[in-house]
Amino acid sequence: MRIITLNLNGIRSACNKGFLEWFGQQDADILCVQELKAQAADMTPDMLAPFGYHGYFHYAEKKGYSGVGIYCKRKPDKVILGLGIPEFDVEGRYIEAQFGNLSVVSLYLPSGSSGEERQAVKFKFLEAFMPHMKKLFASGRDIVVCGDWNIAHTEKDLKNWKGNRKNSGFLPEERAWLTELFNEVGFIDVFRKLHPELEAYTWWSNRGQAWAKDVGWRLDYQVATPSIAEKAVSTGIYKEQRFSDHAPMMVDYRA
């Protein structure tokens, strides 16, 4: 089972850069996408259901903003849009597809990099989201939460960690939240499980020569319950083409 996650930074922009053609070559069972920056009216038939995939989307109410989606080969038994928390659901940040005992989530966690107001929203989201993650874990289902978490967990997860200790995405409180999720709740960072020491990134700033110099951050994760994480056999970050300021991150799981 191949699961891919990618922050598109705008589905229309990504499609213009060859995203759909690439997707068609991946033989993915599930592709989770974030930051659609589109409403239902903006979506073409190819965006909605490429190559016979089933597409499901949670759009933000604000135009050109946020939004998440899931493409899957097999039709889900159930699709859940949002967390049931109105102030976050209007931003289109959570969609869950259920297949038997497996739940796959596409998540776009808020960024706090634009200023104190959005950082406060991010902390509020984290506070509300932890109980939801605990509930998912306690359900006994196989869970894979894919997405742009907007947090680099450890010093191995961003190139310039020394210079970013006071910046959103690498704040002590954010990192501690992920540590709690992994060490106390019991979720597993699948990439880090397979590559304990590898320094590899999924996002690069458009400023300077960040991409050329590989001065990046690992912000995109597949976070899984132990039952499914132990079935992960390989993972990779695709960098041959660029569809976005993020790179696709894929994991192959044993059936």
Is the predicted pLDDT of residue 240 greater than 90, yes or no?
A: yes
How far apart CA 209 and CA 141 sit, in angstroms, is 43
Q: In percent, how much of the chain has pLDDT > 70?
A: 100
Confidence of residue 208 (pLDDT cuts 50, 70, 90): confident
Of 215, 223, 148, 227, whose CA–CA distance to 179 is shortest? Answer: 223
29 is catalytic: no
CATH code for the domain of 226: 3.60.10.10
Residue 42's domain comprises: 2-253
Task: Give every CB contact of residue 209 below 8 A, 6+ residues apart in sequence.
Answer: 215
pLDDT digits (tens, 9 = 90+) for 53-72: 999 999 999 999 999 999 99
Catalytic pick from 142, 148, 157, 220?
148
Domain count, the chain: 1
Is the predicted pLDDT of residue 35 greater than 90, yes or no?
A: yes
Q: Mean pLDDT over residues 213-236, rounded?
A: 98
pLDDT of residue 255: 83
Global model pTM greater than 0.85:
yes
Q: Mean pLDDT over residues 25-44, rounded?
A: 97
